[in-house]
Amino acid sequence: MKLRSFFLILAGVVVVLLSVAGGSFYWILSQSPLSLPLGNATARPSATIFVPKQTPVMMSLLTNPDGLEIFGQMAVPAGQRRRARAEFERLERGLLANTGVDYDRDIKPWLGDEVTFALTSRDFDRNAKNGVQPGYLLIAGSKDGELAREFLQLLYSQEAIAGTGDLVFEPYKGVTLIYRRALEDGKITSASTVVGDRFVLFANHPKVLREALNNVQAANLSLEADPTYQRALQTIQAPRIAVGVINLPLLSAWIANRDVASNAPAQTLTLTLDLNRQGLVAQTALAGVLGETQVAPTLSAPVKALNYIPSSATLTAAGTNLQRLSAELGEGLPADTALAQIFQQSLATLNASLELDVAGDIFRWTTGEYALSLLPDSTSPQNKQKNWLFVAEKNTPEAEEAIAALDRLAKAQGLSLGELSLGDRRATVWTELKTATDNQPASLDARVKGVRATVGNYEIFSNSLAAMEQALADGETSVLANRDFQTAIAQLPRKNNGYLYFDWKQTQPLLEEKIPLFRVLEFAGKPLFRNLQAIALSSSGRDNGISRASIFFQLGLGD
């Protein structure tokens, strides 16, 4: 086995193990009659002393794979333990296939309770002449430094026998760096070292290792010493089996293969992951994006506007004061950030499709409760989402005038206004009248472009009569009565600013089309997305410049 291959395998271990938490291991938890804790609210990566403060992305798994297996064996009934063991064996075989490495024999004896992977820089040698060379660093916690060194010796001895390069042993700051220099071109593809019997470091170049060791001795250079990271992590008092850090400008620059602007704001997303019997829970802390203004959670229960969203909805967003939310996203996000671009593009698309100024004509007066949803249309190809519902509370005198203005705007666009009965409710319908011939006697074709109805203190809008009929049906068929929705929001903080919930299978094509990053995430976390049923997200306010949000990945049993 080549060392480069082994390094790439190890680099994938973190992502794969985390995604397995949503796949194979979730099956074990779901079968458990017990409620056993797995994550620890005080756990944090110790390997951050090696990771540079300016890392674009870092992920740490804070539990040993053997610990996961033992937990799984304890958690499931005796009759299910054979399958639980098979799940872990399948994982081990998949990770180490065609490497010549046996996990039980070569890795298990020395591997500790932490595996951390970091992208250290976009170009580790900062030399434009040889192209962009990202720096990759993997740190594995070690419980036996001597066995770890023996493992490295085994790997490098195989390289020496192959005779494809010279082995180099370089003393550096009290440790020995080991790497191979290829005979044909002098290139170095991997390097490693053991530090203090506690850590085994792997990198794609010795320069990356040297900088990692420098970070330890110059404490202000490491992520561990970054005050923003420390403050963000302190705000998350929840169990965790993993911790991640994403520097948004640096990661965007790396993906786009460009330099970061000198005036780019510092924007960091810190997240933790934990498992429970229902799925995977992520807690996030976002710094440097939405300003320092204090924002307290406004809700302690789901908004009543959700009573008019059918349980069949594939995507639902609900909360209060859409005016403030849109202003915060539109004005608070720096213009050159990915979040700002996504928001502005989405708003432009919505304006074009509805032929109005959404922010001015709708968001401006929606200061109370709101709920927005997409519904599947059984009459469309592949059941794509084309129907939508928007429910807004009318809590100001301005709301009635704004709704009347929408009627006038519809007339100005050449639409006809009429009324019809839907059950015991009256609805206003905006229709487009066209003459249809189709080689037959001319007839009048009325196409529904919009419909609205008043229910108590709420105004409901839709582009479909069928969707409006569902909205006006009995509240027992609303999304609030949907068991999956209830399960999902139960995993989120009780005090929050609203929910975003979507059925993964139904919205997957739409998300992949609108947000290409989802395809990358799916590829990296196949075991997770294979069993994913729904995703729920809620914001819980902002304190000292740190915006908090929670994400729940609702999972089902895999094959």
Mark whether 295 and 432 lie in a shared domain: yes
Q: Residue 201's closest CA among 269, 287, 142?
A: 142
62 lies in some domain: yes
160 lies in some domain: yes
DSSP states of 371-406: EEEEEE-TTSGGG-EEEEEEEEE--SHHHHHHHHHH
219 close to 225: Cβ distance less than 8 angstroms: yes
Which DSSP category does 245 fall into?
A: E
279 lies in some domain: no
| Longest Cα–Cα distance in the chain | 93
Q: Residue 222's closest CA among 62, 111, 64, 58?
A: 58
Mark whether 214 and 324 lie in a shared domain: no
Mark whether 218 and 324 lie in a shared domain: no
Domain that holds residue 61: 3-222
User: Beta strand pairing status for 111-121 and 385-393?
Assistant: unpaired
Give the Cα separation of 442 and 244 in Å (integer). 64
Final residue before a domain boundary, out of 179, 200, 222: 222
Mark whether 188 and 108 lie in a shared domain: yes
Mark whether 185 and 316 lie in a shared domain: no
243 lies in some domain: no
Q: CB count, 10 Å around CB of 287? A: 21
Mark whether 7 and 149 lie in a shared domain: yes
Final residue before a domain boundary, out of 200, 222, 244: 222
316 lies in some domain: yes
Mark whether 302 and 215 lie in a shared domain: no
- Cα 531 to chain centroid, rounded: 15
Which DSSP category does 267 fall into?
A: -
122 close to 63: Cβ distance less than 8 angstroms: no
Mark whether 214 and 294 lie in a shared domain: no
Count how many Cα atoms sit within 13 Å of the Cα of residue 100 in the half-sphere of its side chain. 11
Type of residue numbered 341:
Q
Looking at 463-545, list the stretches that DSSP marks H as alpha helix, in order from N- to C-terminal side. Answer: 465-471, 483-490, 504-514, 517-524, 526-530
Kind plus residue range of the DSSP H or E element containing 295? none
Per-residue pLDDT tens over the stretch 251-270: 878 877 777 776 777 789 89
Looking at 121-189, list the stretches that DSSP marks H as alpha helix, in order from N- to C-terminal side. Answer: 145-162
Mark whether 28 and 154 lie in a shared domain: yes
Look at the chain and report how many structural domains it folds into: 2
94 lies in some domain: yes
What region does 163 belong to: left with phi over 0, alpha with psi -120 to 50, or beta?
left
228 lies in some domain: no
261 lies in some domain: no
Supply 535's token pair.
């995703």
Mark whether 207 and 297 lie in a shared domain: no
Type of residue numbered 385:
Q
Q: Residue 287's closest CA among 547, 554, 481?
A: 547
Give the Cα separation of 526 and 298 in Å (integer). 36
Kind plus residue range of the DSSP H or E element containing 494? none
Final residue before a domain boundary, out of 195, 222, 249: 222
Mark whether 437 and 309 lie in a shared domain: yes
Mark whether 386 and 307 lie in a shared domain: yes
**Would you give per-residue pLDDT tens digits along the chain (559 residues)?**
344 444 444 444 444 444 433 333 444 444 444 444 455 667 889 999 999 999 999 989 888 766 555 544 444 455 655 665 565 566 555 555 555 667 778 888 998 888 898 999 888 877 777 777 889 899 999 999 999 998 888 877 766 666 666 788 899 999 999 888 876 666 777 889 999 899 999 998 999 999 999 999 887 899 999 999 999 999 998 888 889 999 888 887 887 777 777 677 778 989 998 877 777 889 999 888 766 778 888 899 999 999 999 998 888 989 998 888 777 765 555 555 555 555 566 556 555 655 667 667 787 888 899 998 888 865 554 445 468 888 999 988 888 888 888 888 888 888 888 888 888 888 999 888 776 655 566 566 678 888 999 999 999 998 889 999 999 986 678 999 988 899 999 999 999 999 999 888 887 777 666 665 566 555 555 556 667 788 899 988 888 888 899 999 887 654 4
